[in-house]
Amino acid sequence: MNKLYRAEILSNKAVGRGYRRMKLKAEGIGKTAAPGQFVMLRVTRNLDPLLARPFGIFSTVSGNIIEIVYRIVGRGTILLSDAGPGDELFMLGPLGNGFPAVRKNAVPILVSGGSGFPPLYFLASKTRKRAVVLLGAKSEDCLPPKDVIGGFKKLSSQVRIATEDGSAGETGLITDLLADVLERRSMKGEPVVYACGPNAMLCAVSMIAQKAGIECYVSMEERMACGVGACMGCSIHMNMGGYSRACKEGPVFDSREIRWKQP
């Protein structure tokens, strides 16, 4: 059940690689938030910028506190980075459907591209160290912050990193790592892929999973204006025809449901 909150910022710390980690206090939100859900946050107390921004929930610290981790990439996040402890922001959430619960006999393979890691971090925290985590980026400075990677290592059975330029981890695409993990099939249990990142990456991940006959859930990073299903700005073309809204029916979809535009 989502709610409009006046959320209090408890902290908003720089954590490296251009990211900030923000703790927000809002009565009861941590009790209802699930991995894969997001909040719409108005980045200032006034109406400029007019639209709230979507942020995937990174963790629940307690029943009343959630965390987001965001990269400073434009005016909205620059303004957000100026906010400090004690400031209050309007926040709507938790929104969206979230990832389906990880089954007992499944081995979750979490695939993150670029800054797509926050919802997967939350999911990893619910897998009792069963997850295999694959983190990919163009280069080392585009990877998640070091303390986030350290957190993934504590929450997972295995973490592998790939960068396209070879500046950290293995050289290549995140999809190369996924193909390698699925080929080896050394895990005990049925692999299920959960992915978040740029659409081209999600499309490639989806194709690999389909070829291997493996379930795959993708969290779509569409631009969102309202976040509540009213504007149709986040529409996604579906395989059965018609459109679904990333903010309302998603952001998580079974990858087979999406009509991918293959590059």
Nearer to ligand FES, 132 or 218 (CB): 218
Minimum distance, C-beta of residue 2 to ligand FES, in the bound complex (Å): 13
Burial of 190 (0-12, 13-18, 19+ CB in 10 A): exposed
Strand 53-56 versus strand 38-41 pairing type: antiparallel
Nearer to ligand FES, 121 or 253 (CB): 253
Beta bridge partners of 233: none
Minimum distance, C-beta of residue 235 to ligand FES, in the bound complex (Å): 7
**Could you tell me which of 94, 82, 101 has the C-alpha nearest to residue 43?**
82
Nearer to ligand FES, 174 or 224 (CB): 224
Nearer to ligand FES, 244 or 255 (CB): 244
CA distance 211 to 227: 33
Minimum distance, C-beta of residue 229 to ligand FES, in the bound complex (Å): 5
Minimum distance, C-beta of residue 36 to ligand FES, in the bound complex (Å): 15
Strand 216-219 versus strand 190-196 pairing type: parallel
Minimum distance, C-beta of residue 226 to ligand FES, in the bound complex (Å): 4
CA 43 to chain centre: 19
**Residue indicated by tokens 């990211």:** 19
Minimum distance, C-beta of residue 228 to ligand FES, in the bound complex (Å): 7
Nearer to ligand FES, 73 or 230 (CB): 230
Nearer to ligand FES, 97 or 158 (CB): 97
Asked if residues 135 and 116 have their Cβ atoms less than 8 Å apart, the reply is no
Residue 32 dihedral angles phi and psi, to the nearest 5°: -105, -20
Chain contacts with ligand FES (rule: CB under 6 A): 224-227, 229-234, 245-247
Burial of 116 (0-12, 13-18, 19+ CB in 10 A): buried
